[in-house]
């Protein structure tokens, strides 16, 4: 009986993870380059993304969120009402061609996609010169809930970054 108990106890202590995906933090601070496909538009929706090796953070802005005029107050885009924030994990390193090609490459494969359930996207626009505008994009209270209903709480994605448009 002692041997059986010892074997069961050892197997419990030394058992390995069953492969469930565990996300503890999202850290895109080291990624300064915001990418998009083509030119940004003030008259249509825009998809912006940051890639960090095998993961990507995607922000979808509705038409009119970027304006070629200086803002005195932040433009507010509510997540899941008019904009969205999506976090994807891939099976390998991903490049911008994955998002921009008409037919996405077969590899890498999306392992998990998590869409934000709530949050706010703030956009502040300043004039760089008479025809160029910079849009500082910040994320606030982004609530990502995984497929198994666990919440990602340590979000380090407040400063998404800055993009530029021209008149």
Instruction: Tell me the pLDDT band of 21, cut-offs 50, 70 and 90.
Output: very low
- Give the pLDDT of residue 7: 54
| Residue 23 domain-assigned (yes or no) | no
Structural domain for 80, as ranges: 28-166
Q: How far apart, in whole angstroms, are the C-alpha atoms of residue 94 and residue 91?
A: 9
Q: For residue 146, give the nearest of 104, 106, 118, 117 by alpha carbon.
A: 117
Tens digits of residue pLDDT in 6-18: 554 445 445 544 4
Q: What is the mean pLDDT of the chain?
A: 82
| Residue 2 domain-assigned (yes or no) | no
* pTM summary value: 0.79
Length of the chain, please? 167
Dihedral angle sign, alpha carbons of residues 52, 53, 55, 60: positive
| Residue 110 domain-assigned (yes or no) | yes
* Cis previous bond, 166, omega within 30: no
| Residue 91 domain-assigned (yes or no) | yes
- Give the pLDDT of residue 84: 92
| Residue 154 domain-assigned (yes or no) | yes
| Residue 55 domain-assigned (yes or no) | yes
Check pLDDT > 60 for residue 65.
Answer: yes
Classify residue 83 by its DSSP letter.
B
Check pLDDT > 70 for residue 155.
Answer: no
Tally of domains in the chain? 1
Task: Give percent of the chain above pLDDT 90.
Answer: 42
Tokens 């494969």 found at:
109
Tens digits of residue pLDDT in 78-137: 998 889 999 999 999 998 888 888 887 888 999 999 988 888 999 999 999 989 999 999
């Amino acid at each position: 009986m002692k041997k059986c108990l010892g074997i069961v106890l050892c197997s419990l202590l030394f058992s390995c993870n069953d492969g469930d995906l565990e996300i503890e933090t999202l850290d895109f601070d080291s990624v300064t380059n915001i990418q998009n496909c083509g030119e940004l538009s003030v008259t249509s929706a825009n998809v912006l993304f940051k890639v960090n090796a095998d993961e990507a953070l995607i922000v979808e802005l509705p038409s009119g969120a970027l304006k070629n005029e200086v803002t005195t107050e932040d433009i507010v885009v509510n997540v899941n009402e008019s904009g969205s924030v999506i976090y994807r994990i891939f099976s390998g390193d991903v490049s911008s061609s994955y998002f921009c090609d008409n037919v996405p490459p077969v590899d890498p494969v999306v392992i998990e996609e998590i869409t934000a359930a709530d949050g706010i996207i703030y956009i502040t626009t300043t004039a760089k010169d008479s025809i160029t505008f910079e849009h500082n994009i910040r994320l606030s209270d982004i609530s990502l809930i995984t497929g198994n209903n666990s919440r990602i709480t340590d979000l380090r994605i407040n400063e998404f970054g800055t993009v530029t448009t021209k008149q």
